[in-house]
Chains A and B, each alone.
Chain A
Amino acid sequence: MTEKPAMATLPPPDVTVTDMTKRFGALVALDAVSVHFESGTFHALLGENGAGKSTLVKCLMGYYQADEGDISVNGVTQHVTNPRHAHHLGLGMVYQHFTLVPSMTVAENLVLGEEGLSSVINWKEHLEILEAFMQSMPFRLDLNRSVSNLAAGEKQKLEILKQLHLGSRFLILDEPTSVLTPDEADQILGLMRQLTDENRISVVMITHKLREVEAYANEVTVLRHGRLAGQGYVKDLTHADLIRMMIGNEKISKPAVRTKASRREIALEIRNLVVGNDKGLTAVSDASLQVKEGEIVGIAGVSGNGQTELVEALSGQRDEESGDIFVRGEKYGKTRSEMRDFGINMLPEDPLNNSCVREMSVAENLAIRIFDQPPTTYAGCLINRGAVRRHGRDLIERFRIKTQGPDARIETLSGGNVQRTVLARELAGDVEVLIVQNPCFGLDLNAVAEIRNRIMEARNGGATILLISEDLDEILELADRIIVMFEGHFVFETSRDKADVHEIGRHMASHI
């Protein structure tokens, strides 16, 4: 293997997109969009769900072929036909989901993507090269650690390091911070900004968080309905400007008011729950919890502290090792009839993989909760596909899901619209018990406000809600009671009135 110049002295790629148009059938996902991603800048890409952000960068990376328009890299027009080609041009992308191999070490993961890797790896030589590479980076990871032991923030760093190691000097990040705590996000974005300021790389970041744009980006491009809605230097733009470019004259809905709850029966109870994880270790230890009607209990915590396993145990995706779950005083067996009778609804994280069927249409996915009941059935056991489609169309309208129609496959929807679809399915019916994990992941500003309102309205209507979120602001806004989860334990509990951000933050970070 020849050693790559870890960071050559040439300036990072300067990329221009001219009049790019991308159609999916009748839908115009990108409509004559032009952007100049200047060498050595941190460029933010903003826009509401389905605006075309991911489509734009996928065209850049050669995952999609644009129907019209040009891409030029360092002034030379390029037809980027596949990701490998983009890679040769120095373009690399970090995805929203991790692509690392968990059972391997940091070093092995870094080496994995190398091209022209010889079939026999000289590890000693390789480790020296990697060590030298790490030394040249502003953030480092221990090369010998196993990826499965890394926290989310560290994994994200490794994804970025991997791209840099492979020689990408134009880095595209699609919603990189959704899996990170605000602190981790600040740290990573700060480092990226440092690298761009040193003119070592160019960065394009897709995000919904204006705060991150204002703090770290030099330039911003806003898309709306596939068109360019605004562009400029961040220093010239105010917060209000950014919002206006993103949503036009639409109003962001006001937060719903919290009403006083009347009925106060305990509807959901967890008693001494113990749940293991995939590695056979204890992920949730001896957790007990009661949630009343008309109450939102928020479970705060850094991701990876057992929240996922807790939600899986509640949703039927994982068997608990011991302990019990009760709904309205009865032991909950996670059967379909119980879910229906008790009005239990659920939004797990990563909805596309956890609660959707990719190959099915939007309407079919929307029917997963109700397909075996009239009006989508007749004669008891036959399914009425017309009614499934009508039901889908109705929800698509009510929840303003952006799709080509009820028959489009769900995997063709934008990230935020998949989330909306599952929310629509879970919130549309009779909601009595609601378990939601990170409900606003990947949603745009307006959608966040709208979804939080719907959750609050459900609570005001007497629903029992367990909200598991890595976004502390969300918990502080919605929860009546806050519990902190750390290493599988509920380590701290406070009521809404007495909640103190710093105290909660301390418990999230460690046992005290």
Chain B
Amino acid sequence: MDTDNNKNIFDQLNKECNEYSKAIFLESCVEVAKNGEQFGLTTEDCFPEVHCALGLPYYSIAVFGGVMSQMPQAFDLIDKSKEMGVGSMTCSGPKLAMYMVESGMIPKPNMIITGNQPCDAISALGDLVNSYKPWADVPKFYMSAPHDKSEESYVFYGKQMRAAAAFLEDILGRKLDMNKLKQISEEANKQCQLMLELQVLKSAVPTPIDWTWGRSATRIARWGSRVGSPVVTEWLERLVAATEQRVKEKKGIDGITEKIRFMWYDMVPTSSEKLFSRLANELGAVELMDYYNWGGPWTPIDTSSEEAMFTSFAKRYLKDTPMVKHAMGTVQSFTDDITRLYKELKCDAVVLGLNIGHKEQNAMYRVIEDICRERGIPIQMIGCDLWDERYMTGDQIFDKIQMFFEVSGLIK
């Protein structure tokens, strides 16, 4: 494959991804509502496979906050949410979503599923959605994600998921086609395997593709209404093949001379496009892994029975989805994942976003630092607001990371 051809493939993949991921934006939710179609709203984006099998468009309001923080009017909306009386230190993503609900910016859904994960702020957003008066007549389902990591906990959550699916069936007046769910799940298994393959390829030195590709894969393979669609599998296969080609050719990210390899161990901030490209261009520092770039491993969905499928959904959600897994897990599981990925991806350093909203991370950051130091992993805490750049700008984050690389001897 020649260089131009390889570039064309990536351009094409990018174009398709933008098209497929439209479903996560507000406009598409407005569109569905305008067409009079039924749609669901959730804070507990735990079983996209079920939504897809039911053919139910749905909107993860938890994702909304993050996605909407890119809007030009985001700062204004965040400030207005403070006027509502919401806690001043609540994560800006859900805060923004809270304001959007309260001010009627989000069309009225036909069904709502809320829960308590991954964090208090999302749980609080769920409660706000549930008590929003204009939506009082919308049927609601509440879920409780367990913190305990035993088999019985996964069965418990799987049962809730099955009941939530029955709740959706009742409202829609149609049954969940188990064969279809099985097909989607098997396809989703393939997709997760491909995401893992992509992650393995990224461990090559130099890393073949930039951080945005993992995010694109997550957007279409784990979020929204195309999960388990063969179109996505095919997209991922092409991405993996094109990446593999670059590895074979020992090609790094175009235009970048790779000098430092690091993980941003969190969701990426709104400033990430500019921040990561500055780090790559000015310091040769390439970002290899973050919560959007997560390649797993993901628990395969066991399709041998209905119960097995739902228990697998529970596992995949609670023990594999990085934000959920880390926010609800122990400091041990958090640092064990850092260590594993640091080694697998041949990283030089780890940066912890330490979002102001991540209270549970803030509550253990010293222990994380100590454990990482003991294991010889250079780590830097940032302490930004992922969704509000006014708290810490991308340039300030850049300076902090640059200094950390200098102190760690990574910039000579």
Same complex for A and B? Answer no
Q: Residues of A at under 8 Å CB distance from B?
A: none
Q: Residues of B at under 8 Å CB distance from A?
A: none
